[in-house]
Structure 1
Amino acid sequence: MSTATGTPPEALRTQMVERILAGQRLAPAVEAVLRHVERHRYVPDAPIADAYNEQAVITHTFPDGTHLSCASGPIIVAAMLDALHVEPGHNVLEIGAGTGYNAALLASLTGVAGQVTTLDVNADVTAAARRNLDDTGYSHVRVITRDGAEGAAEHGPYDRIIVTVGAWDISRTWWDQMVPGGRLVLPMRWRGTTRAVAFTKRDDHWESDWVFLCGFVPMLGQPGEHSATVDPDRLVTLHYDTDQPVDVDALQGVLDREKVEVWSDATVGGEEPFDRVWLRLTATDDRTVRIQADQKAVTSGFCTPAIAVRSPALIDGGSLAYLTTRRSDDQQGCWQLGAIGHGPDGEQLANRILDEIAVWDRDRSADPHLVAYPTGTTPPDDTTGKLITKPENRLYLAYDRQ
């Protein structure tokens, strides 16, 4: 079997792994299973070259065209798998069956003494995963059609749980079905951004030690986010969490109100990431949301976020400010970071964004430390960090451990 260009799958798989290793270290066992499992056989309808490129391969969609399931890009698959720390003999639960590829990787890591159970709420997804796993020699992997938030207590407790759909909250059942000291890796959504986070189960809380930028299809059944347009042409949308008191009516037409631009001294190269500015804002300011602008709004100059489809913004009453960029006059090929504000408090909000740009600029690689206390557990009085309240957890974010 080969691609149209004549490159065999084995060579494409080797190229995929080498590309991953160029950007991150992997445990030898994780590298070995990535070299072994034939990813193209889990997306049989896609060109073989696409199976090994750094891209998500969409496998199922809703009737309205939104994505229901996909094969995630190899870099995030490898990163989350490495952070999970799977060992031979482990009992592993996967939430989000996808194509079955990730379950095959897990089964290769757990070995004959281990167990892997994968869940998905959609019967078409589980049927395809079951078929792919059977066809590639992983018929021993359990595939169950079920809401992933329910877990699978009948096959637990689990040493490891991995979630491969965007989770707005951490299900209490995952806590109950995890062994003490067990490890959970999931794409966690808060304040409009998504980060893969690795948690360890402590006596009464989850504690993180790894955070990684990612994007995933949202998990069904966790309606923790709202969205609202703020202009008559519906070109600009704000996305915010249910615990945020957003006055949607007050924000209507905000982009037509007084405007101010403020600029920092920080610049980035063309491919240099600056997403941790957003992380800084989520850990310090409850007013942080996501702004999304249609290309028409960007082209006309009506709304120009740093990244049109996903950038951080601050909102307060009828005022708004968002992160933006412009070409640097002093450094060729670089972009200067700034903020644009609208409304009576727009300048104050824009300067607040500049404050966090300055902090980020002093340590561009720092990630927050996350602690989550499940419902029914009581955080100590001296717990520090920005509190984000979710139905099943109290999530704290802090950059300096106390």
Structure 2
Amino acid sequence: MHTTPRREAESTATFVAEPAGGTAVTETNVAPDRAAELRGQMVDALVADGTIISTQVEAVMRAVPRHRFALDASLEQAYDAYKAVFTKKDEHGVITSSVSAPQIQAMMLEQADIGPGMRVLEIGSGGYNAELLAELVGEAGEVTTMDIDSDVTARAARLLADTGYGRVRVVTGDAEAGEPAGAPYDRIMVTAGAWDVPPAWTAQLAPAGRLVVPLRIKGLTRSIAFDRVADHLIGSSGQVCGFVPMQGAGVHQEQQLLVTGTGEIALRFDDGLPLEPSRLDNAVRTPRAESWTGVRVGRQEPFDTLQLFLATVLPGFCIMAVDPDLDTGLVAPSNKWFSMATVDDRGFAYLTTRPTADPQTVEFGVHAFGPNGPALTETVAAQVRAWDQEQRGGPGPRIEVHPAGTPDDRLPAGRVVDKRHSRVTISWSAARSADDQVVPPAPTAQGE
């Protein structure tokens, strides 16, 4: 593993304008000692918070000068352990490329478990992560990095050459087909948000290969380490993350339902709208129903398994967002941008919280609208309690990816999410029996 620090002063980066939060990095103003100091602080923070756990990942992140790949950032921004640096936007101002936050990059490198001599394909290029991969595989290994955007790959190739890593193979192409020229790969690392797993990614893995991918399931993105087992993938170590979405043939857009007609309240669906979305039109005209679960969590306590659990057991699961400029207070989620929600025949419910006597904790509750609101709140509240009693603090679900068309009797028990190329299954631990894991029917509206 090559860990000799390069000379920071050799950077050829130039800037048009100075970024906020510090002085732009140029070839004349980089202080090598200051860059090394900030890089050390970044790695120290990631070791302290448990993101970096291996000596290999720690060593390469201490060695590679990240600021030379974050050309539109100050040194302070480049070495912020928890923030991404955006490198390209489209004509609408939408971010299309970035250097991911160091925390996310370290997390995925740990998931990938890359060793010397491996062949690695990176999908979603930028240069910095490819150099980290090259450090991990060493001189005997091979790294290919690819991106659909020729501007991104040209930039990556230039920066990799500038830092002495011209041996990394840079490819421009749509990753839906993978990159067969370098296959089979011991590891495929996807650094763009994916809604599906194309067949090429599994086919191009070595028999015992591993795919690390930020996979979106029911609107929730998790970085999952999948190991290949014959024709399918078995996942573990799902971690919350966010990425610029895939472009090209793998693009997939969420669908949005405005329940008030004004844009104040939007419900986002990852796998298609309800069969009769117009039946929700009058839901907000009914009184709001409430149910409190008695389930408490610490204000800083992660509860990402609750999100996946509700996505598994609630057939109408979706994400609710409130436009702050149009907010009338009709709904009161704890997070206006991202709240877990679900719909039934003629109404919707969402998860919220309220303070408790202990200032360090909050209690989960459910609000609902529609003629079946009271019953819907109880349905959701019951599932929150089930998570608390049976899954909280556990390892999370087992997630598998099987080829599209795989018969039901060849899939594990649990929720099946059908996508274009695959069937994704979410199965929970033995605390719930197979019968318990059958998805319950949506509640029927009262009076029908």
Scaled by the length of structure 1, what TM-score is found?
0.93
Aligned partner of 1:137 among 141, 159, 164: 164
Give the CA deviation at 1:246. Answer: 4.5
Paired letter, 2:268: H
- CA distance change for structure 1 residues 208 and 248 in 2, over 3 Å: closer, same or farther? same
User: What's 2:145 paired with?
Assistant: 118
Which amino acid letter does the alignment assign opposite residue 279 of structure 2?
A
Unaligned runs of 5+ in 1: none
Partner of 2:417: 388
Q: CA deviation at 1:251?
A: 2.2
For residues 137-167 of structure 1, the C-alpha deviation after alignment (integer angstroms, 9 at most, x for no partner) is: 1111111111111110011111100111110
Residues 389, 382 of structure 1: CA spacing in aligned structure 2 closer, same or farther, 3 A cutoff? closer
- Alignment partners' CA distance in 2, 1:41 and 1:8: 14
Q: CA deviation at 1:400?
A: 1.6
**Separation in structure 2 between the aligned mates of residue 142 and residue 376 of structure 1, nearest angstrom:** 35
Name the residue aligned to 1:338.
365
Q: Residue 306 of structure 2: SS of its match in structure 1?
A: helix
Note the 1:232-271 alignment, pairs <5 A: 232-242=261-271, 245-271=274-300
User: In structure 2, what residue type is equivalent to 1:9?
Assistant: A
CA-to-aligned-CA distance 1:329-360 (integer Å, 9 cap, x gap):
x2124322111101122222222221232233
Corresponding residue for 2:332?
304
The aligned residue for residue 223 of structure 2 is: 196
Change (3 A) 1:134 1:341: same
The Cα RMSD (Å) is 2.1
Q: Please give the alpha-carbon distance, in whole angstroms, between the structure 1 residues aligned to 2:92 and 2:86.
A: 14
Distance 2:381 2:94 in 1: 35
Matched, 1:78 2:106: yes
2:45 pairs with 1:16: no
> Which range moved further: 169-178 or 304-313?
304-313
Shift of 1:72: 1.2
Return the letter of the residue paired with 2:38. Answer: L
1:100 aligned partner: 127
**Could you list the per-position Cα deviations for residues 335-390 of structure 1 after superposition, in whole angstroms to 9, with x for gaps in the alignment?**
22111101122222222221232233234333111111113554644621111111
Deviates more, 1:130-139 or 1:240-249: 240-249
Of 171, 188, 191, which residue of structure 2 is paired with 1:161?
A: 188
Structure 2 Cα separation of the partners of residues 383 and 268 of structure 1: 31
Q: Distance in 1 between matches of 2:386 and 2:164?
A: 51
The alpha carbon displacement at 1:275 in A equals 2.9
> Matched residue pairs, number?
399
Q: Which moved more, 1:215-224 or 1:257-266?
A: 215-224
Instruction: Work out the CA distance in 2 between the residues paired with 1:361 and 1:147.
Output: 42
Match of 2:302 in 1: 273
Opposite residue 108 of structure 2, the aligned amino acid is: M
The secondary structure found in structure 2 opposite 1:185 is strand
SS at match of 1:231: coil
Is there any run of 5+ residues in structure 2 with no aligned partner, and where?
A: 1-7, 10-21, 24-29, 435-448
Partners of 1:131 and 1:382 lie apart in 2 by: 46
Sort the Cα spacing of 1:217 and 1:179 in 2 relative to 1 into closer, same or farther, 3 A: same
Identity across the alignment (%): 37
Provide the TM-score with structure 2 as the length reference.
0.84
Q: Is the 8 A contact 1:232 1:253 kept in 2?
A: no
Alignment partners' CA distance in 1, 2:340 and 2:140: 46
Q: Which position in structure 2 is the counterpart of 1:361?
A: 388
* Deviation digits for residues 256-293 of structure 1 (CA, Å, limit 9, x no counterpart): 33311111212233322233221111122221111111
Number of the residue aligned with 2:3: none
Amino acid of the structure 2 residue aligned with 1:241: D
Report the Cα distance in structure 1 between the residues aligned to 2:161 and 2:377, rounded to whole angstroms. 55
* SS at structure 2 position matched to 1:140: coil
Report which of the two structures shows the higher radius of gyration computed on alpha carbons: 2
Higher strand share: 1
**C-alpha displacement at 1:306, in angstroms?**
2.7
Answer yes or no: is the 8 Å Cα contact 1:204–1:377 preserved in 2: no
Deviations 1:96-149 (A, max 9, x none): 11x211111111111111111111111121122122211111111111111111
Report the Cα distance in structure 2 between the residues aligned to 1:377 and 1:394, rounded to whole angstroms. 7
Given that residues 189 and 212 in structure 2 are in contact (C-alpha distance below 8 angstroms), is that contact kept between their aligned partners in structure 1? yes
Contact 1:84–1:162, Cα closer than 8 Å, also in 2 = yes
Which segment is superposed worse, 303-312 or 142-151?
Answer: 303-312
Whole-angstrom distance in 2 between the partners of 1:126 and 1:253: 50
Aligned mates of 2:188, 2:61 — CA distance in 1: 19
| Worse-superposed segment, 117-126 or 166-175 | 117-126
Contact 1:283 / 1:368 at 8 angstroms: preserved in 2? no
